[in-house]
Amino acid sequence: MKKWLLLLLGTLVWPLGTATAQGMEPDWPEVQKLLENRCVICHGAALASQGLRLDSRERLLAGSSNGPVVIAGSPDESELLRRIRGESLPRMPLTGPPYLSDAETALILGWIRSLAPDAASVSRDPDPATPEPEAQALEDPGLFSRVAAVLVPRCATCHSPNGRMGPAPEGFVATSHASLLDARERAWIVPGDPRASELVRRIRGQSLPRMPFDGPPYLSAADIELIEEWIAAGAPNDQGQPAPLPVGARVRLGGTLSGHWQLDGLPLKVAAGTRIRENLRVGQRVEVRGWVESDGTIGVERIRAR
């Protein structure tokens, strides 16, 4: 009887052990999807925070500039899990709260526990003779990651679906490339033109209230220039693909009239149907509401003093 029971247990355990030994952890696809949704915005390119990239299993196991973040078979000793639980600070993801749910945390715990002891034996540095394909193809593949490293700690704490202030203020979500470029309610970013982008005007204080809302201190001049550089380059994602122009999207821009229908140097397309509320003058602070034309210019629906 005892011998039969041991044989039965061996039969049940063998397939899982084999899958793990061959690098086919059954939970990894779910873990990968979770990391992509919550972590890769800061940890997804060559210039990721602390050198920690979470956009592949190999890069996760390679760890950060401070060392491994996953100890195979030992979830409680793994910095990745400690940051997720808040046992090490800052708690991750930085876009929380909400942080990962108990079920999501248990998923990562179970995956780390299932890893074989030699799972993390990966080199941190790729062979310099064989650079990654994206590094060969792109002039600056890490541009968006550098932008995200500025925006997420300062903006996403409020501008996330369930941030400090509840739903994202004004519907603007700053947790991913897709959400930053979402123009369904209105365009905060006009790829190719920082001056027409409300995001830039908010962080410069041209549109009010100035952002981040917890400033001062506000973003540094270098951080603002980085964001402007990214938008001027077409607001590309981490694969270097520029964002499409949101033709027809609504815009709301604050600033100062600097010339004949110019907003801080940004030309405005004023037509016979444009509503002009007051006798406006150069040097006056105004608010412009309109839309993005097919050539990227701003068609004006209304201008009023602010």
Nearest Cα neighbor of 49 from 58, 39, 57 is 39
Q: In which element (H, E) is residue 178 found?
A: helix 177-180
- Say how far apart CA 173 and CA 151 lie, in whole Å: 11
Query: Do the Cβ atoms of 269 and 299 come closer than 8 Å?
Result: yes
Q: How many CB atoms lie within 10 A of CB 55?
A: 17
Which pLDDT score is estimated for 79?
Answer: 92
Sign of CA dihedral 169, 175, 177, 179: negative
Nearest Cα neighbor of 88 from 67, 72, 104 is 67
Nearest Cα neighbor of 248 from 292, 208, 284 is 292
Tell me, rounded to whole angstroms, the distance of Cα 207 from its chain centroid: 23
User: Rg (Cα) of the chain, in Å, rounded?
Assistant: 24
| Domain locations along the chain | 25-114, 143-232, 250-305
Phi, psi of 269 (to 5 degrees): -100, 95
Regions of the chain where pLDDT drops below 70: 1-24, 45-48, 118-141
